[in-house]
Amino acid sequence: MTSCACGGRRRSSAPADSKRRWARRPGHKPNTAVAQAYYNKKEKVTRISTETGAGQWGSALSMACSFFGLQCKVYMVKVSYQQKPYRRIMMETWGAQVVPSPSPDTQAGKKILEEDPNSPGSLGIAISEAVEDAATREDTKYSLGSVLNHVLTHQTVIGLEAKKQLEKADDEADVVIGCAGGGSNFAGLSFPFAADKLSGKKKKLRIIAVEPSACPSLTKGKYVYDFGDTVGLTPLVKMHTLGHGFIPAPLHAGGLRYHGMAPLVCKLYADGVIEAAAVPQIATFQAALQFAKSEGIIPAPEAAHAIRVVIDEALACKKAGKRKTILFNLSGHGHFDLGAYEAFLAGKLQDFDYPAEKIAEALRGVPEVKA
């Protein structure tokens, strides 16, 4: 029977050749947002700056700052600011100041706007603005919601909980799948399982990171040292990158539009411990609708990337006559992305397959570093 582990509940549907087990979370970002706000409060910081793509991280940090009485300034990627107004309203409800990035509030933002007044923005640009904001004020610290080691460590509570759920169901995962933008969602679910694979406990376990074909940092990026932001204010980190000057297409999965990937995720990919897949936008929304109709939950576009590959893997099992347990993380919901669903249902969405020449052009700006 096809079954889903959901907060301790199990549901069954029609017989199939694979089992789906999904860790259902209303949103994973508070796992690190609350911790970071707490420790900043302990250090007597009064204001935090950050960036956000689709708005999930900005919402989580805004909420966390409200818990501890901290001011919060959020630089939201402009195209998401325009596509997802209710995410902005959520952040403002929790007391945050939200501006579209690039903005005139920083020197980095002003420079970008001078070069391109209609820039849709990028996570790299928003990071540059947030870092500059913190660097130019004594009362402010910068907070990041993905990519960095401490964030990924906070998020491993997801995978640890999923392992407990599987134990209660007397089951083990054969395939672990998560969407990947900066890496927090994917790493949070997969790292506890990757530990079993690295130790030899589960050698045949497959772990798949899923990204948009319009922002294919793992599948088409270069594994080199690069800046985490567009302007070059951050330290260099070794990661699979499309180049810090990369400006992604305005696809609706705003949380997956980062030019690079978490260094720890990249190391696992480079060593062959994990796999990576890139999926187009239309096929992703087709999977999202299929999931919504069968499970009653409208997934966020980011998580729908994982769902696309889950369906593909399940169909491959059916074709081969094999039975496997497929685990994925359903993080967040699509309630604030109904504009994207409306566009898809009206046939207005299009696929963005980032051309190789554009990637090569963006990678020319990557600094030369001797390892």
The two domains 3-28+150-363 and 30-144 share their CATH topology (first three levels equal): yes
Contact (CB, 8 A) for 353 and 280: yes
Please give the span between the terminal C-alpha atoms of the chain, in angstroms, as a whole number: 51
CATH topology of domain 30-144: Rossmann fold (3.40.50)
Q: Name every residue whose Cβ is closer than 8 Å to that of residue 97 and which is 6 or more positions away in sequence.
A: 71, 72, 73, 74
Q: What is the dihedral of CA 266, 272, 274, 278, to 10 degrees?
A: 70
Q: Yes or no: say if 19 and 172 are a contact pair by the CB < 8 Å rule.
A: no
Question: How many residues appear in the chain?
Answer: 371
Q: Domain locations in the chain?
A: 3-28+150-363, 30-144
Nearest CA-CA partner of 257 in 302, 307, 316: 302
Write out the chain in H/E/C secondary structure.
Answer: CCEEEECCEEEECCCCCEEEEEEEECCCCHHHHHHHHHHHHHCCCCEEEEEECCCHHHHHHHHHHHHHCCEEEEEEEHHHHHHCHHHHHHHHHCCCEEEEECCCCCHHHHHHHHHCCCCCCCHHHHHHHHHHHHHCCCCEEECCCCCCHHHHHHHCHHHHHHHHHHHHCCCCCCEEEEECCCCHHHHHHHHHHHHHHHCCCCCCCEEEEEEECCCCHHHHCEEEEEECCCCCCCCEEEEEECCCCCCCCCCCCHHHCCCCCCHHHHHHHHCCCCEEEEECHHHHHHHHHHHHHHHCCCCCHHHHHHHHHHHHHHHHHHHHCCCEEEEEEEECCCHHHHHHHHHHHCCCCCCCCCCHHHHHHHHCCCCCCCC
pLDDT of residue 16: 47
Tokens (6 digits) for 78: 């402009």
For 192-235, the three-class secondary structure string (H helix, E strand, C coil) is: HHHHHHHCCCCCCCEEEEEEECCCCHHHHCEEEEEECCCCCCCC
Question: Could you tell me whether strands 71-77 and 97-101 are parallel, antiparallel, or unpaired per DSSP bridges?
Answer: parallel
CB 131 within 8 A of CB 256: no
How is residue 362 written in tokens?
A: 């963006």
Asked if residue 239 lies in contact with residue 266, where contact means CB atoms within 8 angstroms, the answer is yes
Per CATH, domain 3-28+150-363 is 3.40.50.1100: yes
Query: What is the reported pLDDT for 4?
Result: 37
Owner of token pair 């980011």: 302
The pairing of strands 206-212 and 275-279 is parallel
Give the per-residue pLDDT at 7.
30
pLDDT tens per residue, the chain (371 residues)? 223 333 333 333 333 455 555 545 557 899 999 999 999 999 999 999 999 988 889 999 999 999 999 999 999 999 889 888 889 999 999 999 999 999 999 999 999 999 999 999 988 899 999 999 999 999 999 999 999 999 999 999 999 999 999 999 999 999 999 999 999 999 999 999 999 999 999 999 999 999 999 889 999 999 999 999 988 888 999 999 999 888 777 666 667 888 999 999 999 999 999 999 999 999 999 999 999 999 999 999 999 999 999 999 999 999 999 999 999 999 878 888 888 899 999 998 888 777 777 778 778 878 877 65
Give the pair of three-digit tokens for residue 13.
């549907």
